Protein backbone atom coordinates (compact mmCIF):
# COMPACT_ATOMS: atom_id res chain seq x y z
CA UNK A 1 0.00 0.00 0.00
CA UNK A 2 1.57 3.32 -1.05
CA UNK A 3 0.82 5.04 2.28
CA UNK A 4 3.27 7.94 1.76
CA UNK A 5 1.63 8.86 -1.54
CA UNK A 6 -1.89 8.50 -0.14
CA UNK A 7 -0.95 10.68 2.81
CA UNK A 8 0.44 13.31 0.44
CA UNK A 9 -2.79 13.29 -1.57
CA UNK A 10 -4.92 13.71 1.56
CA UNK A 11 -2.77 16.56 2.85
CA UNK A 12 -3.07 18.36 -0.48
CA UNK A 13 -6.86 18.08 -0.28
CA UNK A 14 -6.84 19.49 3.25
CA UNK A 15 -4.52 22.32 2.22
CA UNK A 16 -6.79 23.17 -0.71
CA UNK A 17 -9.72 23.55 1.70
CA UNK A 18 -7.64 25.93 3.79
CA UNK A 19 -6.36 27.86 0.77
CA UNK A 20 -9.89 28.26 -0.56
CA UNK A 21 -11.06 29.65 2.77
CA UNK A 22 -8.53 32.45 2.35
CA UNK A 23 -8.93 32.96 -1.41
CA UNK A 24 -12.33 31.72 -2.58
CA UNK A 25 -13.55 32.08 -6.13
CA UNK A 26 -15.13 35.52 -6.55
CA UNK A 27 -18.88 35.95 -6.57
CA UNK A 28 -20.28 35.61 -10.12
CA UNK A 29 -16.73 34.96 -11.32
CA UNK A 30 -17.25 31.40 -12.57
CA UNK A 31 -19.19 28.21 -11.99
CA UNK A 32 -16.66 27.44 -9.25
CA UNK A 33 -18.15 30.15 -7.02
CA UNK A 34 -20.75 27.76 -5.55
CA UNK A 35 -18.41 24.86 -4.63
CA UNK A 36 -15.88 27.43 -3.45
CA UNK A 37 -18.54 28.86 -1.15
CA UNK A 38 -19.41 25.51 0.42
CA UNK A 39 -15.78 24.56 0.97
CA UNK A 40 -14.74 27.95 2.32
CA UNK A 41 -17.87 28.34 4.45
CA UNK A 42 -17.43 25.04 6.29
CA UNK A 43 -13.69 25.52 6.72
CA UNK A 44 -13.70 29.09 8.00
CA UNK A 45 -16.63 28.61 10.41
CA UNK A 46 -15.65 25.13 11.64
CA UNK A 47 -11.91 25.57 12.11
CA UNK A 48 -11.70 23.18 15.06
CA UNK A 49 -13.57 20.46 13.22
CA UNK A 50 -11.44 20.88 10.10
CA UNK A 51 -8.29 20.78 12.21
CA UNK A 52 -9.55 17.64 13.95
CA UNK A 53 -10.07 15.64 10.76
CA UNK A 54 -6.65 16.65 9.46
CA UNK A 55 -5.06 15.64 12.76
CA UNK A 56 -6.89 12.30 12.78
CA UNK A 57 -5.79 11.62 9.20
CA UNK A 58 -2.20 12.49 10.04
CA UNK A 59 -2.10 10.17 13.06
CA UNK A 60 -3.61 7.34 11.03
CA UNK A 61 -1.24 7.68 8.08
CA UNK A 62 1.84 8.06 10.26
CA UNK A 63 0.84 4.89 12.14
CA UNK A 64 0.52 3.12 8.78
CA UNK A 65 4.06 4.09 7.80
CA UNK A 66 3.44 7.24 5.73
CA UNK A 67 6.78 8.69 6.85
CA UNK A 68 8.77 5.80 5.43
CA UNK A 69 9.35 7.74 2.19
CA UNK A 70 9.80 11.35 1.10
CA UNK A 71 6.19 11.92 -0.12
CA UNK A 72 5.03 11.32 3.45
CA UNK A 73 7.43 13.91 4.84
CA UNK A 74 6.33 16.37 2.18
CA UNK A 75 2.73 15.69 3.16
CA UNK A 76 3.60 16.32 6.81
CA UNK A 77 5.09 19.68 5.87
CA UNK A 78 1.98 20.60 3.88
CA UNK A 79 -0.21 19.58 6.81
CA UNK A 80 1.82 21.69 9.23
CA UNK A 81 1.41 24.72 6.97
CA UNK A 82 -2.31 24.05 6.64
CA UNK A 83 -2.65 23.80 10.43
CA UNK A 84 -0.87 27.10 10.92
CA UNK A 85 -3.19 28.78 8.42
CA UNK A 86 -6.25 27.23 10.04
CA UNK A 87 -5.25 28.42 13.50
CA UNK A 88 -4.68 31.91 12.12
CA UNK A 89 -8.40 32.02 11.24
CA UNK A 90 -9.37 31.95 14.91
CA UNK A 91 -8.20 35.49 15.79
CA UNK A 92 -9.72 36.71 12.51
CA UNK A 93 -13.10 35.28 13.52
CA UNK A 94 -12.68 36.75 16.98
CA UNK A 95 -11.97 40.14 15.41
CA UNK A 96 -15.52 40.06 14.04
CA UNK A 97 -16.58 41.19 17.49
CA UNK A 98 -14.57 44.40 17.10
CA UNK A 99 -15.88 44.92 13.56
CA UNK A 100 -19.55 44.66 14.46
CA UNK A 101 -19.08 46.76 17.59
CA UNK A 102 -17.41 49.50 15.56
CA UNK A 103 -20.27 49.34 13.05
CA UNK A 104 -22.75 49.91 15.87
CA UNK A 105 -20.74 52.80 17.28
CA UNK A 106 -20.51 54.47 13.90
CA UNK A 107 -24.19 53.98 13.14
CA UNK A 108 -25.76 54.54 16.56
CA UNK A 109 -23.17 56.77 18.21
CA UNK A 110 -20.14 56.04 20.39
CA UNK A 111 -22.24 56.13 23.57
CA UNK A 112 -25.14 54.06 22.27
CA UNK A 113 -25.00 51.73 25.30
CA UNK A 114 -25.24 54.64 27.72
CA UNK A 115 -28.45 56.23 26.57
CA UNK A 116 -31.01 57.64 28.97
CA UNK A 117 -33.76 55.55 27.38
CA UNK A 118 -35.27 52.40 28.92
CA UNK A 119 -32.31 50.46 30.25
CA UNK A 120 -33.72 46.97 30.64
CA UNK A 121 -33.43 46.19 26.93
CA UNK A 122 -29.80 47.29 26.88
CA UNK A 123 -29.01 45.22 29.93
CA UNK A 124 -30.55 42.22 28.23
CA UNK A 125 -28.41 42.90 25.17
CA UNK A 126 -25.21 42.76 27.20
CA UNK A 127 -25.91 39.21 28.36
CA UNK A 128 -23.54 36.62 26.97
CA UNK A 129 -24.50 34.47 24.02
CA UNK A 130 -24.37 30.75 24.69
CA UNK A 131 -20.91 29.56 23.80
CA UNK A 132 -20.44 27.59 20.60
CA UNK A 133 -20.49 23.84 21.17
CA UNK A 134 -18.64 20.97 19.65
CA UNK A 135 -21.86 20.19 17.80
CA UNK A 136 -22.50 23.42 15.86
CA UNK A 137 -25.89 22.11 14.75
CA UNK A 138 -27.31 21.67 18.25
CA UNK A 139 -30.26 24.04 18.11
CA UNK A 140 -31.91 23.16 21.39
CA UNK A 141 -32.36 25.75 24.12
CA UNK A 142 -33.79 24.94 27.56
CA UNK A 143 -35.42 28.36 27.89
CA UNK A 144 -37.25 28.43 24.56
CA UNK A 145 -40.52 26.89 23.38
CA UNK A 146 -41.55 26.59 19.73
CA UNK A 147 -45.05 26.55 18.26
CA UNK A 148 -44.75 25.08 14.76
CA UNK A 149 -46.62 25.17 11.48
CA UNK A 150 -49.12 27.92 12.14
CA UNK A 151 -51.04 29.12 9.08
CA UNK A 152 -50.66 32.83 8.41
CA UNK A 153 -52.86 33.10 5.28
CA UNK A 154 -56.46 32.13 4.61
CA UNK A 155 -55.49 30.07 1.55
CA UNK A 156 -52.74 28.43 3.59
CA UNK A 157 -50.62 25.76 1.98
CA UNK A 158 -47.32 24.25 3.07
CA UNK A 159 -45.55 27.49 2.12
CA UNK A 160 -47.89 29.68 4.16
CA UNK A 161 -46.79 28.39 7.56
CA UNK A 162 -44.70 29.94 10.31
CA UNK A 163 -43.07 28.93 13.59
CA UNK A 164 -43.10 31.02 16.77
CA UNK A 165 -40.16 30.91 19.23
CA UNK A 166 -40.99 32.29 22.67
CA UNK A 167 -39.61 32.20 26.23
CA UNK A 168 -40.57 29.10 28.17
CA UNK A 169 -41.34 31.18 31.27
CA UNK A 170 -43.73 33.45 29.39
CA UNK A 171 -43.55 37.19 28.90
CA UNK A 172 -45.75 40.21 28.26
CA UNK A 173 -45.37 42.96 25.68
CA UNK A 174 -42.25 41.44 24.12
CA UNK A 175 -40.75 42.84 20.91
CA UNK A 176 -40.98 40.67 17.78
CA UNK A 177 -38.42 39.56 15.21
CA UNK A 178 -39.51 38.07 11.87
CA UNK A 179 -36.93 35.81 10.22
CA UNK A 180 -37.08 35.23 6.43
CA UNK A 181 -35.07 32.29 5.12
CA UNK A 182 -32.83 32.40 2.07
CA UNK A 183 -32.23 29.91 -0.71
CA UNK A 184 -32.13 31.87 -3.95
CA UNK A 185 -35.93 32.37 -3.89
CA UNK A 186 -36.21 28.70 -4.98
CA UNK A 187 -35.37 26.56 -1.94
CA UNK A 188 -35.17 26.89 1.82
CA UNK A 189 -37.31 26.38 4.88
CA UNK A 190 -38.18 28.25 8.05
CA UNK A 191 -36.46 25.64 10.25
CA UNK A 192 -33.06 25.89 8.55
CA UNK A 193 -31.61 29.36 9.12
CA UNK A 194 -30.91 31.98 11.81
CA UNK A 195 -31.58 29.49 14.60
CA UNK A 196 -28.68 30.70 16.78
CA UNK A 197 -30.05 34.25 16.58
CA UNK A 198 -33.68 33.32 17.19
CA UNK A 199 -32.89 31.01 20.12
CA UNK A 200 -30.69 33.65 21.70
CA UNK A 201 -33.29 36.39 21.37
CA UNK A 202 -36.19 34.21 22.48
CA UNK A 203 -34.25 33.24 25.60
CA UNK A 204 -33.72 36.97 26.24
CA UNK A 205 -37.44 37.73 26.09
CA UNK A 206 -38.16 38.29 22.40
CA UNK A 207 -40.83 36.62 20.30
CA UNK A 208 -39.23 35.29 17.11
CA UNK A 209 -41.24 34.22 14.08
CA UNK A 210 -39.81 32.23 11.16
CA UNK A 211 -41.99 32.09 8.05
CA UNK A 212 -42.02 30.12 4.81
CA UNK A 213 -43.08 31.78 1.58
CA UNK A 214 -43.88 30.66 -1.96
CA UNK A 215 -40.86 29.67 -4.02
CA UNK A 216 -39.83 30.07 -7.63
CA UNK A 217 -40.03 28.88 -10.32
CA UNK A 218 -43.68 28.26 -9.45
CA UNK A 219 -43.89 31.65 -7.77
CA UNK A 220 -43.02 34.86 -9.60
CA UNK A 221 -41.80 37.98 -7.86
CA UNK A 222 -43.41 39.75 -6.02
CA UNK A 223 -45.22 36.63 -4.71
CA UNK A 224 -42.38 36.11 -2.23
CA UNK A 225 -42.68 39.63 -0.86
CA UNK A 226 -46.47 39.45 -0.72
CA UNK A 227 -46.15 36.40 1.54
CA UNK A 228 -43.69 38.21 3.79
CA UNK A 229 -46.24 41.01 4.10
CA UNK A 230 -48.93 38.48 4.94
CA UNK A 231 -46.73 37.11 7.71
CA UNK A 232 -46.23 40.63 9.08
CA UNK A 233 -49.98 41.23 9.02
CA UNK A 234 -50.50 37.93 10.90
CA UNK A 235 -47.98 39.00 13.53
CA UNK A 236 -49.75 42.30 14.05
CA UNK A 237 -53.04 40.47 14.54
CA UNK A 238 -51.98 37.40 16.54
CA UNK A 239 -48.58 37.81 18.18
CA UNK A 240 -50.19 39.05 21.40
CA UNK A 241 -51.36 35.46 21.94
CA UNK A 242 -47.70 34.62 22.65
CA UNK A 243 -47.01 37.63 24.86
CA UNK A 244 -45.78 39.96 22.13
CA UNK A 245 -46.22 43.67 21.66
CA UNK A 246 -46.48 43.73 17.88
CA UNK A 247 -46.13 47.52 17.94
CA UNK A 248 -42.38 46.84 17.61
CA UNK A 249 -41.51 44.42 14.83
CA UNK A 250 -38.04 43.91 13.39
CA UNK A 251 -37.29 41.85 10.29
CA UNK A 252 -34.18 39.88 9.36
CA UNK A 253 -33.10 37.32 6.78
CA UNK A 254 -30.13 36.03 4.87
CA UNK A 255 -29.34 36.03 1.13
CA UNK A 256 -32.71 35.97 -0.67
CA UNK A 257 -34.19 36.44 2.79
CA UNK A 258 -31.97 39.49 3.23
CA UNK A 259 -33.33 40.86 -0.03
CA UNK A 260 -36.92 40.30 1.11
CA UNK A 261 -36.21 41.69 4.58
CA UNK A 262 -34.74 44.86 3.11
CA UNK A 263 -37.68 45.25 0.72
CA UNK A 264 -40.14 44.69 3.56
CA UNK A 265 -38.41 47.46 5.48
CA UNK A 266 -38.50 49.83 2.52
CA UNK A 267 -42.05 49.19 1.21
CA UNK A 268 -44.16 49.59 4.34
CA UNK A 269 -47.89 49.53 3.65
CA UNK A 270 -47.41 49.59 -0.12
CA UNK A 271 -50.76 48.35 -1.53
CA UNK A 272 -48.99 46.90 -4.57
CA UNK A 273 -47.65 44.14 -2.32
CA UNK A 274 -50.75 43.71 -0.15
CA UNK A 275 -53.49 42.40 -2.45
CA UNK A 276 -56.61 41.78 -0.42
CA UNK A 277 -55.11 43.13 2.81
CA UNK A 278 -54.27 46.67 1.75
CA UNK A 279 -55.30 48.18 5.09
CA UNK A 280 -52.99 45.96 7.18
CA UNK A 281 -50.03 47.61 8.87
CA UNK A 282 -46.91 46.03 7.36
CA UNK A 283 -44.39 48.55 8.62
CA UNK A 284 -41.33 47.36 10.51
CA UNK A 285 -39.33 49.24 13.12
CA UNK A 286 -35.89 47.77 12.37
CA UNK A 287 -34.24 45.74 9.62
CA UNK A 288 -31.20 43.42 9.81
CA UNK A 289 -30.41 41.90 6.39
CA UNK A 290 -27.54 39.41 6.18
CA UNK A 291 -25.54 38.99 2.93
CA UNK A 292 -28.57 40.13 0.95
CA UNK A 293 -29.10 40.80 -2.75
CA UNK A 294 -29.85 44.50 -3.05
CA UNK A 295 -29.66 45.17 -6.78
CA UNK A 296 -31.42 43.09 -9.45
CA UNK A 297 -30.16 45.41 -12.19
CA UNK A 298 -26.41 44.86 -11.67
CA UNK A 299 -25.88 48.61 -11.86
CA UNK A 300 -22.31 48.19 -10.55
CA UNK A 301 -21.43 45.58 -13.20
CA UNK A 302 -20.52 42.94 -10.62
CA UNK A 303 -21.95 40.10 -12.72
CA UNK A 304 -19.73 40.13 -15.85
CA UNK A 305 -21.06 36.83 -17.20
CA UNK A 306 -24.68 37.78 -16.48
CA UNK A 307 -25.16 34.49 -14.65
CA UNK A 308 -27.23 36.05 -11.88
CA UNK A 309 -29.19 38.19 -14.31
CA UNK A 310 -30.11 35.22 -16.50
CA UNK A 311 -31.25 33.32 -13.41
CA UNK A 312 -33.44 36.20 -12.25
CA UNK A 313 -34.96 36.61 -15.72
CA UNK A 314 -35.80 32.94 -16.20
CA UNK A 315 -36.69 31.78 -12.68
CA UNK A 316 -37.67 34.63 -10.36
CA UNK A 317 -38.86 37.64 -12.37
CA UNK A 318 -40.08 35.76 -15.50
CA UNK A 319 -39.29 38.79 -17.68
CA UNK A 320 -36.31 40.24 -19.52
CA UNK A 321 -34.37 43.06 -17.93
CA UNK A 322 -33.80 44.80 -21.27
CA UNK A 323 -37.54 44.81 -21.91
CA UNK A 324 -38.72 45.84 -18.43
CA UNK A 325 -35.86 47.42 -16.45
CA UNK A 326 -38.29 49.29 -14.21
CA UNK A 327 -39.61 45.99 -12.81
CA UNK A 328 -36.10 44.96 -11.81
CA UNK A 329 -35.49 48.32 -10.19
CA UNK A 330 -38.70 48.06 -8.17
CA UNK A 331 -37.58 44.63 -6.98
CA UNK A 332 -34.22 46.05 -5.86
CA UNK A 333 -33.82 47.51 -2.36
CA UNK A 334 -31.08 49.76 -3.78
CA UNK A 335 -33.69 51.63 -5.81
CA UNK A 336 -36.30 51.72 -3.03
CA UNK A 337 -34.37 53.69 -0.38
CA UNK A 338 -36.19 56.71 1.04
CA UNK A 339 -35.92 59.09 4.01
CA UNK A 340 -38.44 57.23 6.16
CA UNK A 341 -36.68 53.87 6.06
CA UNK A 342 -36.40 52.15 9.46
CA UNK A 343 -33.03 51.72 11.20
CA UNK A 344 -30.84 49.20 9.31
CA UNK A 345 -28.00 46.94 10.40
CA UNK A 346 -26.51 45.45 7.22
CA UNK A 347 -24.10 42.52 7.71
CA UNK A 348 -21.99 40.93 4.97
CA UNK A 349 -18.96 38.68 4.65
CA UNK A 350 -15.90 40.18 2.98
CA UNK A 351 -15.18 36.90 1.14
CA UNK A 352 -18.74 36.11 0.08
CA UNK A 353 -18.55 33.85 -3.00
CA UNK A 354 -22.23 34.16 -3.91
CA UNK A 355 -23.12 37.83 -3.38
CA UNK A 356 -20.29 40.38 -3.67
CA UNK A 357 -19.65 42.44 -0.55
CA UNK A 358 -19.30 45.48 -2.82
CA UNK A 359 -23.04 45.31 -3.46
CA UNK A 360 -23.87 45.51 0.25
CA UNK A 361 -21.33 48.29 0.75
CA UNK A 362 -22.95 50.31 -2.02
CA UNK A 363 -26.45 49.72 -0.65
CA UNK A 364 -25.39 50.83 2.84
CA UNK A 365 -23.80 53.99 1.45
CA UNK A 366 -26.89 54.83 -0.61
CA UNK A 367 -29.16 54.25 2.38
CA UNK A 368 -27.00 56.47 4.59
CA UNK A 369 -27.30 59.29 2.07
CA UNK A 370 -31.09 59.22 2.15
CA UNK A 371 -32.43 57.75 5.40
CA UNK A 372 -33.21 59.83 8.46
CA UNK A 373 -32.62 56.75 10.65
CA UNK A 374 -29.35 55.09 11.69
CA UNK A 375 -27.63 52.78 9.21
CA UNK A 376 -24.98 50.37 10.51
CA UNK A 377 -22.82 48.34 8.14
CA UNK A 378 -20.46 45.54 9.16
CA UNK A 379 -18.24 43.77 6.63
CA UNK A 380 -16.75 40.76 8.36
CA UNK A 381 -13.15 39.79 7.50
CA UNK A 382 -12.75 36.34 5.92
CA UNK A 383 -16.48 35.60 6.31
CA UNK A 384 -18.35 33.64 3.65
CA UNK A 385 -22.00 33.60 2.67
CA UNK A 386 -24.33 32.08 5.30
CA UNK A 387 -21.66 32.37 7.99
CA UNK A 388 -24.18 32.56 10.89
CA UNK A 389 -26.41 29.62 9.96
CA UNK A 390 -24.90 27.42 12.69
CA UNK A 391 -22.96 28.01 15.91
CA UNK A 392 -19.42 29.31 15.47
CA UNK A 393 -17.12 31.89 17.03
CA UNK A 394 -18.11 34.45 14.39
CA UNK A 395 -21.80 33.64 14.87
CA UNK A 396 -21.34 34.28 18.60
CA UNK A 397 -20.08 37.82 18.02
CA UNK A 398 -22.59 38.71 15.31
CA UNK A 399 -25.60 37.44 17.26
CA UNK A 400 -24.51 39.52 20.24
CA UNK A 401 -24.18 42.62 18.04
CA UNK A 402 -27.61 42.11 16.47
CA UNK A 403 -29.03 41.75 19.98
CA UNK A 404 -27.50 45.09 20.92
CA UNK A 405 -28.76 46.81 17.77
CA UNK A 406 -32.29 45.53 18.21
CA UNK A 407 -32.32 46.30 21.92
CA UNK A 408 -31.15 49.86 21.27
CA UNK A 409 -33.80 50.29 18.58
CA UNK A 410 -36.50 48.86 20.81
CA UNK A 411 -35.43 51.02 23.76
CA UNK A 412 -35.61 54.14 21.61
CA UNK A 413 -39.00 53.06 20.27
CA UNK A 414 -40.33 52.58 23.81
CA UNK A 415 -38.91 55.91 24.90
CA UNK A 416 -40.64 57.72 22.08
CA UNK A 417 -43.89 55.88 22.79
CA UNK A 418 -43.69 56.87 26.46
CA UNK A 419 -43.03 60.51 25.54
CA UNK A 420 -45.99 60.47 23.16
CA UNK A 421 -48.28 59.02 25.83
CA UNK A 422 -47.14 61.61 28.35
CA UNK A 423 -47.84 64.42 25.90
Compute mean pLDDT per 10 residues along the chain, 423 residues long, and list them.
88 92 75 83 90 91 92 94 94 95 96 63 52 76 94 86 93 93 97 96 95 97 98 95 92 98 98 96 98 96 85 97 97 98 98 94 98 98 94 94 94 76 58
Burial of 85: CB neighbours in 10 Å, binned 0-12, 13-18, 19+: middle
- What was the pLDDT predicted at 116? 41
One domain for residues 85 and 118: no
Domain boundary among 76, 92, 108: 92
Domain boundary among 92, 118, 139: 92
One domain for residues 387 and 241: yes
Give the residue numbers annotated as catalytic, written as ranges: 255, 352, 385
One domain for residues 117 and 256: yes
State the total domains in the chain: 2
Strands (E), 181-227: 207-211
Gap between the Cα atoms of 2 and 76, Å rounded:
15
Gap between the Cα atoms of 238 and 243, Å rounded:
10
Q: Which of 131, 128, 135 is nearest to 48 (CA)?
A: 135
The CATH number linked to 390 is 3.40.50.1820
- What was the pLDDT predicted at 119? 47
Q: Which of 182, 178, 95, 183 is nearest to 394 (CA)?
A: 95
Query: Given phi > 0 = left and psi -120 to 50 = alpha, else beta, which region is 23?
Result: beta
Amino acid sequence: MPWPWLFLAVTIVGALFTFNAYLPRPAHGSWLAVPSFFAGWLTAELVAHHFAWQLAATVFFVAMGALDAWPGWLGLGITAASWAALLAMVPVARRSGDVVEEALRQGLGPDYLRTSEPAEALLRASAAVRAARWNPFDFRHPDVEVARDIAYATEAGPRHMLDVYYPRTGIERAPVLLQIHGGGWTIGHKRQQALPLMLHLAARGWICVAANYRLSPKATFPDHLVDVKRAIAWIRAHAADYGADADFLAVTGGSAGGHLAALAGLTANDPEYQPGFESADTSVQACVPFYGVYDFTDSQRLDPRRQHMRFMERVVMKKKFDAEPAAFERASPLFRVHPDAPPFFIVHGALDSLVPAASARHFAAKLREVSKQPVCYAELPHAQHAFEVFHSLRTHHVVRAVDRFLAWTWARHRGRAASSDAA
